Chain A
Amino acid sequence: MSLETASPLAPYPRHGSNAGQPITRRDGELKVTGQATYAADNHPEGLLYAVCAVSSIARGRVTHLDVAAAMAHPGVVEVLTPANRPPLALDPNVKHGPFGFRLEVLQDDTVRYANQPIALVAAESLEAAVEGAALLNPRYEAQPARTGLEDGQRYAPAGVGVGAPPRTAHGDVEAGFAAAARIVEADFETPAQFHNAMEPHAVVAQWDGDRLTLDMPNQALVMSREAYGAFFGVPGANVLIRSPFLGGGFGSKAILNGPQLLGILAARHLKRPVKLVLSRAQMYGPVGHRGRTWQTLRLGLDGQGRLTALRHRSLAATSSFDDFLEPAANASLHAYASPAILSETEGLRLDIGTPGPMRAPGEASGSAALEAAMDEAAEACGMDPLDFRLANYAETEPGTGRPYSSKALRECYAEGARAFGWAGRPLRPRQMRDADGLLVGWGVGSALFPCPHFPAEARATLRADGTALVETAGVDMGQGAWTVLAQIAAEALGLDPARVEFRSGVSDLPDAGVAGGSGHTASAGLALHNAGQNVIARLTELAAADPASPLFGAGNVGVTARDGRLHRRDDDSRSESYAEILARAGQPLITASGRMARDEEAVQSWAMYSHGAVFAEVKVDPDFGMVRATRLVGAFAAGRIVNPRLVRSQYYGGMIWGAGFALHEAALADRRTGRIMNADLAEYRVPVNADVPSLEAILVPEEDRYVNPLGVKGVGEIGITGTVGAIANAVWHATGVRVRRFPIHIEDLMGG
């Protein structure tokens, strides 16, 4: 996939570089005109449609499937069940690789959660496949579903999140509590939430001998290629994954899942291309979710409102057969200065699909509780919540004492507060009303997200006509990778983005790593940057060695690459175009590779995070308890901003997500059956426009010389963090009621 000619780039004035320019999405025109091809838009010749039959019980065994009835339905071609499921090269009950999860691929007749695949029906039409699946009419031997605190099994986990320790201690919290003038303790509860990407999980699988082509939305192309290859016993290089556009992923499309594997298996078994698309309801189970948590925060405070100890405990739900524990308690490790910090997570096994990383895993639910607890602590100390946060400002990384590579959080607080109009906020709750008599409240939350980087590679090719081709298997989930990665590459090459062809979104390109952890721009961007710089270095060698070039001998003084020309650094008037240099050297092109590379010493010695502050105004109807987040102002500092338009929209999206977390989102599982009773977008509520009437995202300048050579940090997830707490705190400020269970319901606020 290439976007050379997609949309003409708007002619923004350039000041030496395209970076920092609010270039619109290069794929925008394709999308708004319906020309962008998503996975399920592919219809190869001879296509079969596969539909999963899923379990309606959460625990037990499938004792009977009416395969004959399904097979007898006109158009049905095959029914796969545990009885006839062709073999896989790997055991799906075993975790494979760092992001490996145990999968349900019809390996046996057990049922471990509601909506687990229990059969696959392939047919000539989607309708026939759907009806075939319905005709299977499963019978079960059901066991009682374990769905909550009462019946779940608690255990001590080996790790939380993706390989983080379940317990981290800095200093002596008990001593800190003993020395405290005041203790604040509060319990919080966060629900199961589902990614609900607009585009459902889908795959169109085509086998050609032992070569496999997959059209599927995928957040980790090259890694997944290897994983799929391993499951089917073919080399990863035989698997081509095409994923030019994703209709959202949020973490749910980085990990293999049973249904997609079954679709691929059916294609091989039936020797025809197969398409499988999950229904919305089927996305509530086999493709991950944000797991429930029960959190307890305990804060020790001295007479000046400074933390003496901070303890964050979390009980996190996972499935009966695999472990992904929302690392919520770890959100307290890096946020505030405290001489002693302890984070501890315990696991709770339930009959649910295994949770997984969902936008801001841990940080979202953990910061919700932490920021709300900080607000309670500020109240206990009689302090303004912003002053209280400043009093506990971490000048160095809590626990380790490492300096920050950059931290403009103070500026975020100041700019956010100014834009919001925080000054003069009454300390006590229920002090403000609007003209209509609605209660008004203001709250603040701090936002934070780490800066993980992933291994990534890229290739850049300078062509004879002075244009360039850059390549990496990047992932655009809507966040703007097509645009921002091309911008970074163009900058490194000293070219206008319009003269750079960018190939991405296919797994046979250099590995761009995972689009996750808010690290894709930094990681793939660094690889592209280095590839571009390597090309320019070779070009410079050619020119400097060529007596006919005005740059002859410039090797020592160096050159700058700009607008498709190399200029002598000491004499800008001496320059030559790339095309001329290549032509004289008789070279048709120069190709170079680059990788994500950072100064390992810097990585060890500096603490690296994006920071922010979110200010929320809510209005609450005093009689009805209806809440609306009438104003959200977020100020974020995340290093160098390559494209402010895209970054702002990431912050908006995160803040809206935070509003949903605080006020709307929750999966409702029937406590008897474990079935999710609101598995559709009418009843699983996310905010609509009317819920977020006023949003402002401030881009606070921040220069970071250590995080990586680009100075780029992550922006994709931080917007959620801080926002949830800010809204909950504003609700308290409006009503005087502390609601510690999310989402906040109207009956929580009907007290008066």
Chain B
Amino acid sequence: MNRFDYIRPATAAEAIAAAAQPGSAYLAAGTNLVDLMKTGAARPERLVDITRLPGLDRIDWSPGGGARIGALVRNSDLAYDPAVRRAFPAVAEALLSGASPQLRNAATLGGNLLQRTRCAYFFDTASACNRRAPGAGCDAREGENRLHAILGWSEACIATHPSDVCVSLVALDAVVEIEGPDGAREIPLEALHRLPGDAPDQETALAAGELIVAVRLPPQAAAVASHARYLKIRERTSYAFAVVSAAAGLDLDGTTIRQARLALGGVAAKPWRARAAESVLEGAPADAATFARAAEAALAEARPSGDNAFKIELARRLIVRALSDALAGTPGQPPALPASPFAAPAGARHVA
């Protein structure tokens, strides 16, 4: 571990000033950043610890029913917040399907948004990785890439963004509030992560020193609250990243879909909002045929980036299921195995 400065600023302004200098990184709970520092994949010269910044660990509600979630709100606190569960159940379900209780208790929302890819070649400094070292090449391209991207990838990088909650958030039109050296701005979450193109190292739209202070969910996003699910395919029943995941929300007018929200996880370098599928869904009858057409639309551009053609078919089936589950209605009690096709034994309340 190399020597680095550790700074614990008292205000956001101080934090931004410190982080604007080259070689700096914000440190939230560190559950991702510290792991990367241990392998050497990240070697910041200055850690700016933001965990003590005031006011960023709150959830505030607008009169219209929108939520403003501070960047330091812990994953567990957010998932178990009763009002969040009521208004944005797919956000809670996505959070609870991720990582482990211990990690969720520590990890922050801002950190979850900005966690890096799980591509093993990105973690491994002996591998060539354009994302970590621009121009080096991409060892995943011909390597272990069963779980890599099927949408939006480029020859330069086929990595996926691993977050679960981002998938639900992007489906719900979340907005990211940012403060930086040049002042405050906000962007849709959908615009936060960038597709790799020729410059996979440019992972996000953030400029140096920019700090995420909050994520806002607009009141309209609650329209799908009674028909919203997050569903996640993974290789063990809990404590695994998504092979593919989907957030689905329906606002119904009788049996017709008034409004639909659909996003995919584990498929691209960003949480993937499936707008083409939403267009298919909106105004159509909420039935299996519509869902199948929506799935086709969502994956029209999909292509394998390696040994992962199965993920395309898997995503297609998952979309249909997630929409069907959403149609069936949001469960009153969040499932003990969140986002899982497996039911927990009756009476089990513990979240794995």
Listed in ascending order, the chain A residues whose CB lies under 8 Å from chain B are: 56, 127, 130-131, 134, 281, 436, 438, 619, 621, 623-626, 628, 630, 663-664, 668, 670-673, 675, 677-678, 682-683, 685, 687-691, 693-694, 745-747, 750
Q: Which of B124-160 contact A (CB under 8 A)?
A: 124, 126-127, 139, 142-144
Chain B 298-320: CB-based contact to A (< 8 A → 1; otherwise 0): 00000000000010011001101
Q: Does B20 contact A (CB under 8 A)?
A: no
**B321: CB under 8 A from chain A?**
yes
Residue in A626, A675, A678, A689 whose Cβ sees the most chain B Cβ within 10 Å? A626
> In the complex, what's the smallest C-beta–C-beta distance from A284 to chain B, in angstroms?
12
Residues of B contacting A678 in the complex (Cβ-Cβ under 8 angstroms): 120, 144
Given the complex of chains A and B, what is the CA–CA distance between A691 and B243 in angstroms?
Answer: 17
Given A134-B2, A683-B118, A438-B236 contact (CB < 8 Å): no
B124 contacts A621, C-beta separation under 8 Å: no
Q: Does B142 contact A436, Cβ atoms closer than 8 Å? A: no
Say which residue of A630, A671, A688, A750 sits within 8 Å of B238 (CB atoms): A688
In residues 304-347 of chain B, which contact A (Cβ within 8 Å)? 310, 313-314, 317-318, 320-321, 337, 341-345
Given the complex, which residues of A lie within 8 Å of B1, measured CB to CB? 127, 130-131, 134
Cα distance A693–B144 when bound, in Å? Answer: 31
Q: Is B142 touching A624 in the complex (CB atoms < 8 A)?
A: no
Q: Contact at B243–A746, with CB atoms within 8 Å?
A: yes
Check A745–B314 contact: CB distance below 8 A. Answer: no
Take A130-B1, A750-B313 as given contacts and tell me if A621 and B341 are in contact as well, using a CB distance cutoff of 8 Å.
yes
Given the known interface contacts A624-B314, A670-B144, the answer about A436 and B235 at a Cβ–Cβ threshold of 8 Å is: no
User: Can you list 30 contacts pairing A with B, beta carbon distance less than 8 Å?
Assistant: A127-B1, A130-B1, A134-B40, A281-B39, A623-B317, A623-B321, A624-B318, A626-B233, A626-B234, A628-B237, A663-B236, A668-B144, A670-B143, A672-B139, A673-B126, A675-B126, A677-B124, A677-B144, A678-B144, A682-B118, A683-B120, A687-B236, A688-B237, A690-B337, A693-B345, A694-B345, A746-B233, A746-B235, A746-B310, A747-B310
Which chain A residues lie closer than 8 Å to B342 at the CB level?
A: 438, 619, 621, 626, 628, 630
Q: How many A-B residue pairs have CB under 8 A?
A: 98
User: In the complex the two chains form, is B341's CB within 8 Å of A677's CB?
Assistant: no
Which chain B residue has the least Cβ–Cβ distance from A629? B237
CA distance A691 to B342 in the complex (A): 10
Q: Does B88 contact A (CB under 8 A)?
A: no
Of the listed residues B121, B321, B342, B345, the one surrounded by the most CB atoms of chain A closer than 10 A to its CB is B342
B residues touching A (Cβ–Cβ < 8 Å)? 1-3, 39-40, 118, 120-121, 124, 126-127, 139, 142-144, 233-240, 243, 310, 313-314, 317-318, 320-321, 337, 341-345, 352
Shortest Cβ gap from A664 to chain B (Å): 6
Interface contact B142-A672, CB-CB below 8 Å: yes
Please indicate the chain B residues that have their CB under 8 angstroms from the CB of A134 in the complex.
1-2, 40
Within the complex, what minimum Cβ distance (angstroms) separates A364 from chain B?
19
Task: Among B233, B310, B317, B341, find the residue whose CB has the most chain A CB atoms closer than 10 A.
Answer: B341
Going nearest first, the 8 A-B pairs with the smallest beta carbon separation are A56-B126, A690-B352, A747-B310, A690-B237, A677-B120, A690-B238, A623-B317, A621-B341
A624 & B317 in contact (Cβ 8 Å cutoff) = yes
Residue in B40, B121, B345 whose beta carbon sits within 8 Å of that of A677 in the complex:
B121
Report which of B144, B341, B345 forms a contact with A438, defined as CB distance below 8 A.
B341
Q: Are B233 and A624 in contact (CB under 8 A)?
A: yes
> Contacting B235 at CB < 8 Å: which of A672, A685, A690?
A685
Residues of B within 8 A of A130 (CB): 1
A623 to B321 CA separation, bound complex (whole angstroms)? 9
Chain A hits for B39, CB < 8 A: 281
Which residues of chain A are within 8 angstroms of B118 by Cβ–Cβ distance? 682-683
Q: How far is the CB of A236 from chain B (nearest CB, A)?
A: 38
Q: Are B341 and A624 in contact (CB under 8 A)?
A: yes
Which of chain B's residues have a CB closer than 8 A to the CB of A626?
233-234, 341-342
